[in-house]
Amino acid sequence: MPQLRLTGRGLWITVLIAPPLAFVALFIVYPIVAAFAYAFYDWQGLMRGDFVGLANFHQVLFVEPYASWTRNAFTHNIIVFFALMVLQNGVGFILAYALWRELPGARFHRVAVFLPVVLSTIIVGYLWKLFLHPLFGVVNQSLKAVGLPFLAQPWLGQDTTALWALIFANAWHMVGFPTLVFLAGMQRIPGEILDAVRMETESEWVKITKIVWPLVAPSATVVFVLLFVGAFNWFELPYIMAGLDGSPYGSTDVLGLYFYRTAFGNVSAGQQNFGLGSALAVLIFVFIAAVASVITVRLRAREIQI
Amino acid sequence: MARLSLRGIKKRFKTTDVLHGIDLEIGDREFVVFVGPSGCGKSTLLRLIAGLDPITEGTFTLNGKSMNDVPPSRRGIAMVFQSYALYPHMDVYENMAFGARLMGLTKAEIEARIDEAARMLRLEPYLKRKPRELSGGQRQRVAIARALVRKPEVFLLDEPLSNLDAALRSDVRLEIARLHRQIGGTMIYVTHDQVEAMTLADKIVVMNQGRIEQVGSPRELYETPANTFVATFIGSPRMALIDVTREGARVGVAGGGSQTLDRMPADANGAFKIGVRPDGLALARGNGGDGFAASVVYTEYLGDNAFVYARLADGTQVGIRTAPGEFYEPDEAVTVTIAPSAAHFFSAADGRRLAA
């Protein structure tokens, strides 16, 4: 049996690891565990009431009006996920391919595409709120200027366009991230493999679908999983651009906003219920963890070593 | 049928000239080897023929048709790469089938071609394996099989053996030679290894600094090198180049003896270079007599023979083949003599071959 001795090196390691470990335990592990526990109790404001078992979960999932609110928010998260899959990851892949092929101006565009990612979500949210202002916003002004006034809409003010406006702003903000990850993946493909394909076909479509796409599988895994987690944790951008109620009429409501409203209350709702909020938080967490693991495992399986 | 014709081919990368005007004819079923030191432009020339890089100037025709603007996949040319360049996500079968499908062949035809290629290169047991599950030699055979399946008119091979270990290298070399006899296509092979060039080629193209130094059969290159570059590049150990001055019927080395020669270059009166391979030089112990004074640098013992390296009075180092039983000590004084029939003559000014 090896003996544990506190050597100088071991002491150093302990000293260096202990503070971050304590930090993680206090601010990440404890809240998660606590939320799990809270979800099983009845709450009166900040005062914990009786143990109620799965009643909170039952209420947010099956009792009206919570059930329809949950369904509404969850549906929006799903829309956000699939829309961003196309607008963010899909466009990111195409941009990465264009940058990788060293088209003229690639160097400038590499910076330009990534620049918005550096901005804080708060800034991007306010920026796009101004851009999308129905009267003075640069979007509608431009549409009018180029002779398309009928396309000028109150983008954030009507339920048919509000969610899509948010999705678009998010894609604009974050598209540089998948682009960068895909670009890094593409740059790992050996030049001779591409030469070998060029000897067999001149079709860009075949090159992309049969060679480049399968070979950037590791990058795809990363951006898919991160987008999934991001889409179901979506909060800051809708909070800033659409408010806690997911206005108008809940058309931009997502699980993050709904949880926040339920747990901490809101000017318009007035209710504040830690039990229901925690139940929602736990459901979101379990759902994300379960699906993200499945996605990761499945996508990992198709990765190959170059 | 595949006849390639390169006329005045130049290649420029931004501001660097890599090829300075290449003229070359390659006949049907020929096995041509481009050989030269690294950076001489041989791989660049191959990539121009493949169509992977555009030709800056000049024309390349295949069977009389200009290929300058034809994309690589439509030239009827297949290429085997140094790193094999197999598609890592496809198994061996798919690697071979990929190009064939893109050619629009029927399923049955593809099957038949893959069967044939796999049989020729003994790949049948590996068809379902991924490239990473194969050894280097097996990967190289897959790369060659992939090229075969397309039944191209011209095969290009870019240093195909350089990633293999020495033992495997000679195996795959034999395999390539056998394959060329069997399928009879035109093959262009790039290497920096003169042994590969000598053993495989019908025709060797020796390149240096973006120019062709000489084109010829291995025997022509060995026996009548056109200049000192080819003379020293082909043959191992390399040919010795001795600066001499003519004194009537004798040639002398500055400060170190002279000997009679019954052959002399016709148009050289004063100074010129004599090139001699190790087996054209003889060695005697001690200084004096007919020949050049030299001192031994070191001896390489190779079992069936030995090479003695000696330094002449003017500092030129020469390699001499001797019987393996003879030992010479470093710094021992010796006399080197040239067998007149083995002497090659080159101009002292530009290194060109001088007729005797």
Q: Does A202 sit within 8 Å of B74, measured CB to CB?
A: yes
pLDDT band at B255 (very low <50, low <70, confident <90, very high): confident
Whole-number Cα distances in Å, A89 to A100, A224, A293, B93: 16, 8, 19, 32
Q: Considering the domain boundaries, does residue A25 fall inside one?
A: no
Say if A306 is an interface residue toward chain B (CB within 8 Å).
yes
Q: How far apart are CA B336 and CA B284, in angstroms?
A: 7
> What is the mean pLDDT of the segment spanning B172-178?
87
Provide the domain limits for residue B159.
4-228
What are the beta bridge partners of residue B243? B273
Size of interface A-B (CB pairs under 8 A): 63
Of B228, B246, B271, the position where a domain reaches its end is B228
Q: Does A192 sit within 8 Å of B81, measured CB to CB?
A: yes
Q: How far apart are CA B91 and CA B123, in angstroms?
A: 12
Interface residues of B toward A, Cβ cutoff 8 Å, are 47, 50-52, 71-74, 77-79, 81-89, 98-99, 102, 130, 132, 150
Q: Considering the domain boundaries, does residue B283 fall inside one?
A: yes
Give the model confidence (pLDDT) of A237-287 as tens digits: 999 988 888 788 888 889 999 888 888 887 766 678 888 888 898 899 999
Predicted confidence at residue A44, as pLDDT, reads 77
Tally of structural domains, chain B: 2
Q: What residue in A sits closest to B133 (Cα-Cα)?
A: A305
Q: How far apart are CA B48 and CA B283, in angstroms?
A: 48
Burial class (CB in 10 A: 0-12, 13-18, 19+), A171: buried
Q: How far apart are CA B275 and CA B91, in angstroms?
A: 53
Q: Considering the domain boundaries, does residue B287 fall inside one?
A: yes
Residue among A192, A203, A215 minimizing CB distance to B85? A192
Q: Considering the domain boundaries, does residue B148 fall inside one?
A: yes
The structure tokens listed for A71 are: 């369904």
pLDDT of A306 higher than 80: no
Do B58 and B183 lie in one domain? The reply is: yes
Residues of A in contact with B87 (CB under 8 A): 193, 196-197, 211
> What is the mean pLDDT of the segment spanning B197-218?
92
Predicted confidence at residue B256, as pLDDT, reads 81
Q: How far apart are CA B344 and CA A169, in angstroms?
A: 78
Do B41 and B90 lie in one domain? The reply is: yes
Predicted confidence at residue A299, as pLDDT, reads 87
Whole-number Cα distances in Å, B263 to B251, B258, B260, B289, B351: 11, 15, 9, 20, 19
Do B223 and B243 lie in one domain? The reply is: no
Q: Considering the domain boundaries, does residue A253 fall inside one?
A: yes
Q: Considering the domain boundaries, does residue A254 fall inside one?
A: yes
Do B48 and B165 lie in one domain? The reply is: yes
Q: What one-character DSSP code corresponds to residue B280? A: G
CATH number at residue A83: 1.10.3720.10
Tally of structural domains, chain A: 1
pLDDT band at B305 (very low <50, low <70, confident <90, very high): confident
Of B172, B204, B228, the position where a domain reaches its end is B228
Give the model confidence (pLDDT) of A147-180 as tens digits: 887 888 888 888 888 889 999 999 999 999 999 9
Do B195 and B241 lie in one domain? The reply is: no
Say if A4 is an interface residue toward chain B (CB within 8 Å).
no
Residues with Cβ within 8 Å of B148's Cβ and at least 6 positions away in sequence, in order, are B78, B113, B116, B117, B120, B121, B179, B183
Q: Considering the domain boundaries, does residue B353 fall inside one?
A: no
The structure tokens listed for A31 are: 């809240």
Residues with Cβ within 8 Å of A12's Cβ and at least 6 positions away in sequence, in order, are none
DSSP code string of A5-25: ---HHHHHHHHHHHHHHHHHI
CATH number at residue B191: 3.40.50.300
Give the neighbor-by-neighbor strand order of the sheet with B16-26. Answer: B16-26, B4-13, B57-62, B65-66
Q: Considering the domain boundaries, does residue B352 fall inside one?
A: no
What ipTM did this prediction achieve?
0.84
CATH number at residue B272: 2.40.50.140
Burial class (CB in 10 A: 0-12, 13-18, 19+), B250: middle
Provide the domain limits for residue A84.
56-301
Identify the residue whose tokens are 């496809």.
B90
Do B245 and B201 lie in one domain? The reply is: no
Predicted confidence at residue A56, as pLDDT, reads 83
Q: Considering the domain boundaries, does residue B134 fall inside one?
A: yes
DSSP code string of B137-183: HHHHHHHHHHHHHT--SEEEEESTTTTS-HHHHHHHHHHHHHHHHHH
Q: Considering the domain boundaries, does residue B286 fall inside one?
A: yes
Q: Does B99 sit within 8 Å of A193, measured CB to CB?
A: no
Q: Considering the domain boundaries, does residue A138 fall inside one?
A: yes
Of B202, B228, B254, the position where a domain reaches its end is B228
Do B53 and B189 lie in one domain? The reply is: yes
Q: How far apart are CA A249 and CA B137, in angstroms?
A: 67
Give the model confidence (pLDDT) of B5-34 as tens digits: 999 999 998 888 899 989 999 999 999 999
Do B92 and B172 lie in one domain? The reply is: yes
DSSP β-ladder status, B16-26 and B4-13? antiparallel
Q: How far apart are CA B325 and CA B314, in angstroms?
A: 29
Do B281 and B170 lie in one domain? The reply is: no
Give the model confidence (pLDDT) of B86-120 as tens digits: 999 999 999 999 989 898 888 999 999 999 888 88
Q: What one-character DSSP code corresponds to residue B352? A: B
Q: Considering the domain boundaries, does residue A7 fall inside one?
A: no
Q: Considering the domain boundaries, does residue A3 fall inside one?
A: no
Q: Does A190 sit within 8 Å of B98, measured CB to CB?
A: no
Do B204 and B69 lie in one domain? The reply is: yes
DSSP code string of A86-148: IIIIIHHHHHHHHHHTT-TTHHHHHHHHHHHHHS-HHHHHHHHHHHT-TTT-HHHHHHHHTT-
Do B84 and B121 lie in one domain? The reply is: yes
Query: Residue A288 in 3-state DSSP?
Result: helix
Give the model confidence (pLDDT) of A87-137 as tens digits: 999 999 999 999 998 888 888 888 888 989 999 999 999 999 999 888 888
Taking alpha carbons only, the member of B211, B205, B228 closest to residue B353 is B228
Q: How far apart are CA B227 and CA B221, in angstroms?
A: 10
DSSP β-ladder status, B306-312 and B291-301? antiparallel
Question: Is the Cβ–Cβ distance between A166 and A243 less than 8 Å?
Answer: no
Count CA within 13 A, CB hemisphere, residue B21.
1
pLDDT of A1 higher than 60: no
Q: How far apart are CA A233 and CA A68, in angstroms?
A: 19
Give the model confidence (pLDDT) of B178-195 as tens digits: 888 888 889 999 998 888
pLDDT band at A5 (very low <50, low <70, confident <90, very high): low
Q: Considering the domain boundaries, does residue B174 fall inside one?
A: yes
Do B24 and B104 lie in one domain? The reply is: yes
Q: What residue in B sits closest to A302 (Cα-Cα)?
A: B89
Interface test with B, best of A102, A189, A200 (most B CBs within 10 A): A200
The structure tokens listed for B292 are: 């050049």
Q: How far apart are CA B293 and CA B284, in angstroms?
A: 10
